[in-house]
């Protein structure tokens, strides 16, 4: 150990311990606090600092007995013990029944009865034929100013003294060693008589660590002496000290600029929530309007309106959760229901030949948890402005096996752009913004895809440093079967991007499940500003 630099970096509490005790002394938290007048908690702090510097070491652990003042004890200390209060009352009222005593003092009958027993045994109280309590030897007690007879003089002051002592002790706790034999007997006696729950003291057994100095103590104490460090140095100069001049003539503690500052844990937004907000802000700043909708939707809006054939295996790519109660919506709004039904059956007025099957108007009312954010886009079309730009953050549900890149509920950021001038180039521009600017991907791929509601369709894939290539989302230009049926006659570019997957990339995570982790340390480490 480098004695010189250790000496300079000791805290005054540590210095005082080193100087006050000798090698070979046994130290405990309580002892140090009471010998040196430390505040509660300072003993523990100083000894653990000294231990980490290997100036003290643990010698052994002992079970020790302590007595803690209970709530009741604190009340007794303030208002008086039942005995004290009863003597006072009877002295004033001369004669009074036990129930009246209980009522006057707010004590329960049991306490009053037992205090009466004690006091009559001691020859202080007696009861007359009318069951009224009166003071024996009243005159004598008045004179001496002491309500107690010889025996009482022994017991009551002990209890009173204990209450005062415990009240002054750190955390209302007295150590066994601090008490006289008579005091211990008194506590145990009261607790036995009143039962543990009715006692003014709680008896606790606690493990105490006994420390002793290591071999460096003497050398350190010598170096402290030589440096003139006493532990009474001023650590903090306060305005009061300046105005009353009490700093004069005192030594100051030297600064240690190498001490690492305490870690400040400030409150801040969850990084994932922040990410979602940032994406929203970005879209709003680009002139997008936000849309939203319920988690429970109909088959109609979730899929049929998007030209997904009702009983085709293509529908299986979305393993949807069904609502059990109620099973179906009451109705679907017209003319959308008929328009879409015709589009499926024969193309209707959309210029398509349709899927060529009989549209099931019962099935289409079935309630499900939405499986794609595109449901919001479909519902927006009938009232969309042209030109117009819309987005939504949609929590979606699919019956899926959970792994690093799949969750059974997830967020998509859905978007549509409507306008005469909209085309594939418009779409690719937005896809690039999501992949590069929002997700922060370096490697991006746009590949042809298939969705029943878009033509052409484009999938965007990005390369994650650990997970490799994965699909970020799907997109395309809505088919006329969708747009014409829902009252729109201009091109509509549409996309649904897995926002959780973007966050995975942007926040430097390797598993989607981490986004929803409640491991606070882990969450704190994430960059919220990504
Ligand atoms: N809804 C599609 C993505 C998509 C949205 C919009 C247009 C084309 C594709 C999906 O969840 O996979």
CATH code, domain with 482: 3.30.930.10
In total, how many domains does the chain have?
3
Instruction: Tell me, yes or no, whether 170 and 293 share the same domain.
Output: no
Tell me, in angstroms, the distance from the centre of ligand 1 to residue 374's CA: 6
451 in contact with ligand 1, CB cutoff 6 A: yes
- Does 161 lie in the same domain as 26? no
Ligand 1 pocket check for 505: Cβ under 6 Å: no
Q: Which residues is 454 bridged to in the sheet?
A: 451, 478
294-313 pLDDT, tens digit each:
999 999 999 999 999 998 77
Residues 6+ apart with CB under 8 A from 395: 295, 409, 410, 411
Q: How many CB atoms lie within 10 A of CB 189?
A: 13
Distance 461 CA to ligand 1 centre (A): 13
Does the beta carbon of 392 sit less than 6 angstroms from any atom of ligand 1? no
Alpha helices, H only, 374-484 = 374-380, 424-432, 480-483
How many other CB atoms sit within 10 Å of the CB of residue 342?
A: 19
CA of 460 relative to ligand 1 center, distance in Å: 11
Do residues 358 and 377 both lie within one domain? yes
- Give the pLDDT confidence score for residue 87 in this predicted structure: 86
| Beta carbon of 454 within 6 Å of any ligand 1 atom | yes
Q: Is 251 contained in some domain?
A: no
Q: Is the CB of 496 under 6 A from ligand 1?
A: yes
Shared domain check, 460 and 319: yes
CATH of the domain at 193: 1.10.10.10
Nearby residues of 199 by Cβ (< 8 Å), 6 or more positions away: 70, 72, 73, 190, 191
CA–CA dist 355, 60 (Å, integer): 84
The closest-lying atom of ligand 1 relative to the alpha carbon of residue 377 is 6
Q: What is the domain range of residue 367?
A: 272-525
Co-location of 389 and 457 in the same domain: yes
262 lies in a domain? no
> 406 and 292 in one domain?
yes
Distance 219 CA to ligand 1 centre (A): 76
By CB atoms closer than 10 A (0-12, 13-18, 19+), residue 220 is: buried
Residue 397 maps to a domain? yes
Does 452 contact ligand 1 (Cβ within 6 A)?
no
- The pLDDT, as a whole number, for residue 193 is 82
Q: How far is the CA of 476 from the centre of ligand 1 (A)?
A: 8
Ligand 1 pocket check for 348: Cβ under 6 Å: no
Q: Do 185 and 237 share a domain, yes or no?
A: no
Q: What is the layout of strands, in order, in the sheet containing 96-97?
A: 96-97, 132-135, 125-127
404-434 exposure pattern, b = at least 16 Cβ within 10 A, e = fewer = bbbbeebbbbbbbbbbeebeeeebeebbeeb
Question: Could you tell me if residue 260 is inside a domain?
Answer: no
DSSP letters for 370-386: ---THHHHHHHGGG--S
pLDDT at 148: 56
Residue 328: the pLDDT is: 96
Residues 157 and 306 in one domain: no
Residue with tokens 């209302």: 172
Pocket test for ligand 1, best of 302, 315, 374 (most atoms within 8 A of CB): 374
What's the 330 CA to ligand 1 centre distance in angstroms?
27
Query: Is 259 part of any domain?
Result: no
Q: 223 with 352, same domain?
A: no
- Does the C-beta of 494 come closer than 6 Å to ligand 1? yes
Looking at residue 530, its pLDDT comes to 40
What was the ipTM of the complex prediction? 0.97
Residue ranges of the chain with pLDDT lower than 70? Answer: 137-155, 314, 316-318, 526-530
Residue nearest to atom 6 of ligand 1 (CA): 495
How do 173-175 and 56-69 pair as beta strands?
antiparallel
Find out whether the beta carbon of 371 lies less than 6 Å from any atom of ligand 1: no
Same domain, yes or no, for 381 and 489?
yes
Which pLDDT value is given to residue 145? 56
Residue 430 beta carbon below 6 angstroms from any ligand 1 atom: no
pLDDT recorded at residue 529: 44
Half-sphere exposure of 416 (CA within 13 A, CB side): 28
Spell out the residues 6+ positions from residue 62 whose beta carbon is closer than 8 angstroms to its own: 207, 208, 210
Contacts (Cβ under 8 Å, ≥6 apart) of 417? 387, 388, 389, 426, 427, 430, 492, 493
Q: Does ligand 1 have an atom closer than 6 angstroms to the CB of 302?
A: no
In a domain, 41, yes or no: yes
CA angle 122–128–129, rounded 5-degree value: 145
15 close to ligand 1 (CB < 6 Angstrom) = no
In this structure, are 283 and 201 located in the same domain?
A: no
User: 71-118, pLDDT tens digit by residue?
Assistant: 999 999 999 889 889 988 988 888 899 999 999 999 988 889 988 988
Whole-number pLDDT of residue 404: 84
CB 434 less than 6 A from any atom of ligand 1: no
353 and 406 share a domain?
Answer: yes
């Amino acid at each position: 150990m480098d004695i010189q630099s250790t000496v300079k970096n000791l805290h005054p509490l540590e210095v005082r311990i080193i100087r006050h005790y000798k090698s070979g002394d046994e130290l405990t938290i309580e002892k140090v606090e009471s010998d040196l007048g430390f505040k509660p908690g300072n003993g523990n702090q100083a000894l653990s600092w000294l231990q980490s510097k290997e100036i003290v070491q643990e010698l052994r652990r002992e079970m020790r007995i302590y007595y803690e003042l209970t709530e009741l004890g604190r009340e007794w200390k303030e208002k008086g013990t039942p005995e004290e209060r009863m003597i006072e009352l009877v002295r004033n009222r001369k004669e009074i029944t036990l129930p009246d005593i209980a009522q006057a003092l707010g004590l329960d009958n049991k306490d009053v009865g037992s205090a009466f027993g004690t006091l009559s045994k001691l020859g202080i109280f007696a009861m007359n034929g009318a069951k009224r309590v009166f003071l024996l030897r009243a005159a004598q007690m008045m004179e001496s100013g002491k309500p107690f007879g010889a025996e009482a003089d022994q017991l009551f002051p002990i209890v009173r003294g204990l209450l005062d002592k415990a009240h002054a002790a750190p955390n209302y706790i007295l150590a066994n060693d601090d008490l006289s034999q008579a005091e211990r007997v008194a506590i145990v006696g009261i607790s036995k008589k009143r039962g543990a729950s009715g006692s003014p003291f709680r008896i606790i057994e606690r493990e105490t660590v006994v420390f002793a100095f290591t071999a460096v103590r003497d050398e350190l104490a010598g170096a402290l002496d030589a440096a003139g460090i006493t532990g009474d140095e001023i650590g903090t100069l306060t305005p009061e000290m300046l105005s009353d001049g009490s700093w004069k003539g005192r030594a100051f503690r030297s600064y240690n600029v190498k001490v690492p500052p305490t870690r400040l844990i400030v409150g801040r937004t969850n990084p994932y929530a922040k990410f979602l907000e940032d994406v929203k802000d970005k879209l709003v700043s680009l002139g997008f309007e936000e849309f939203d909708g319920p988690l429970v939707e109909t088959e109609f809006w979730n899929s049929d309106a998007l030209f997904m054939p009702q009983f085709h295996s293509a529908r299986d790519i979305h393993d949807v959760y069904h609502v059990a109660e109620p099973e179906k919506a009451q109705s679907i709004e017209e003319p959308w229901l008929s328009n879409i039904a015709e589009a499926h059956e024969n193309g209707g007025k959309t210029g398509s030949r349709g899927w060529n099957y009989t549209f099931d108007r019962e099935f289409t009312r079935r309630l499900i948890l939405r499986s794609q954010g595109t449901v919001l886009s479909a519902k927006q079309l009938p009232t969309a402005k042209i030109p117009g730009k819309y987005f939504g953050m949609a929590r979606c549900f699919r019956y899926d096996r959970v792994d690093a890149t799949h969750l059974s509920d997830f967020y998509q950021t859905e978007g549509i752009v409507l306008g005469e001038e909209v085309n594939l180039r418009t779409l690719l521009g937005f896809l690039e913004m999501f992949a590069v600017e929002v997700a922060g991907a370096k490697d991006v791929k746009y590949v042809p895809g298939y969705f029943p509601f878009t033509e052409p369709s484009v999938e965007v894939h990005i390369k994650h440093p650990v997970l490799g290539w994965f699909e970020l989302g799907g997109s395309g230009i809505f088919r006329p079967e969708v747009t014409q049926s829902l009252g729109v006659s201009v091109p509509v570019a549409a996309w649904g991007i897995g926002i959780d997957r973007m966050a995975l990339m942007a926040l430097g995570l390797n598993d989607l499940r981490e986004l929803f982790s409640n491991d606070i340390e882990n969450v704190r480490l994430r960059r919220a500003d990504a």
